[in-house]
Chains A and B, each alone.
Chain A
């Protein structure tokens, strides 16, 4: 297994690139007109997970984007998936 140093040597630039892209994405959304969006809220809600000390951040981020409802519709009310749970299917909302 590689050391921490070796993983950083391999992937730090890529991680830095992804973080700057995310920062620029948030700036870009802010600069453009329009209202609130559940996807942006979901993205911002996931950000503090990155700063936690836990060892399963990827799992918890994925869970934070997941539909946690328990109801089963007979047929799909809409098709496609957007990556974050639409407010109508969020429990307790």
Chain B
């Protein structure tokens, strides 16, 4: 089986995990900038993080024949301090020309605050100015529904936004239709406890179809599984989904969305 892991936080994972992904058929993976589990003490911390995402991780992945791409931003958790967030945002443009940077992400909301929303909108404008795709994180647990509505309302105010170039991630049963009905792509994150299990993700595929949907492991420093996507593919097989249907969801769909960046070219060596 071939697949693309469209959302994985490999800075939190060991090199052994790269090997497991390669053995499972992962051809390319994408790493959005996120909260490290602690707040950075300075913008310099982000400068080094962006170097890690754009230089070090692509080389580490290449050793296992996996292409590594990244998305850049300041995450919504640390965006609640707008002064600090703007300082970090000022260093992002110098990384946007790196050959493996796909777009702006994962921006979004965390606790649904005005500060987070202001920085979210500044990121959307940056993406529009540069004609870049956008990857959006929706809040956790009880905050997800409200945050999804806030994000959709905010995006609606950007009249020049191409909704095909925006993916709203971590959807669940109570948010997926809002995202798809508004014309955006939706991502389902497969986590052992929170977000979405493989069984529920497959339910949503059966109910909503496979258009504008992808699945990811978002594997990070928390309780997560870097092999969640191939495990879900196996579960699809057990539920009588055909090899073509599985390939559509785990390979062709992420390929279609990500290829909106000319830099995304699975199969061609990047480093």
A residues apposed to B, CB below 8 Å = 1-2, 6-7, 10-11, 56, 58-60, 62-63, 65-70, 72-79, 81-85
A1-B239, A69-B146, A70-B146 known, 9 other contacts, Cβ within 8 Å: A10-B239, A56-B173, A58-B172, A62-B174, A65-B142, A73-B112, A74-B113, A77-B111, A83-B194
A58 contacts B173, CB within 8 Å?
yes
Q: Which of A56, A74, A75, A81 contacts B141 (CB 8 A)?
A: A81
B residues apposed to A, CB below 8 Å = 77, 80, 110-117, 139-146, 150, 172-174, 194, 199-200, 203, 206, 238-240
A72 contacts B112, CB within 8 Å?
yes
Question: A76: which B residues are within 8 A, CB to CB?
Answer: 80, 110-111, 113, 116
> Shortest beta-carbon distance, A15 to chain B, in Å?
10
Contact status of A85 and B142, CB under 8 A, knowing A76-B110, A79-B111: yes
In the assembled complex, 6 residue pairs joining A and B whose CB atoms fall closer than 8 Å, in A order, are A7-B239, A62-B174, A66-B142, A66-B146, A77-B111, A81-B140
> Shortest beta-carbon distance, B12 to chain A, in Å?
18
Q: What residue of chain B has the Cβ atom nearest to residue A14's Cβ?
A: B199
Q: Which of B115, B144, B200, B203 contacts A75 (CB 8 A)?
A: B115
Question: B77: which A residues are within 8 A, CB to CB?
Answer: 79
Question: B114: which A residues are within 8 A, CB to CB?
Answer: 72-75
A10 contacts B145, CB within 8 Å?
no
Question: A7: which B residues are within 8 A, CB to CB?
Answer: 239
A58 contacts B146, CB within 8 Å?
no
Complex alpha-carbon distance, A62 and B206, angstroms: 19
Query: Ordered nearest first, which 5 A-B pairs have the shortest CB separation?
Result: A76-B111, A62-B174, A66-B145, A81-B141, A59-B173
Complex alpha-carbon distance, A57 and B116, angstroms: 31
Complex alpha-carbon distance, A37 and B238, angstroms: 40
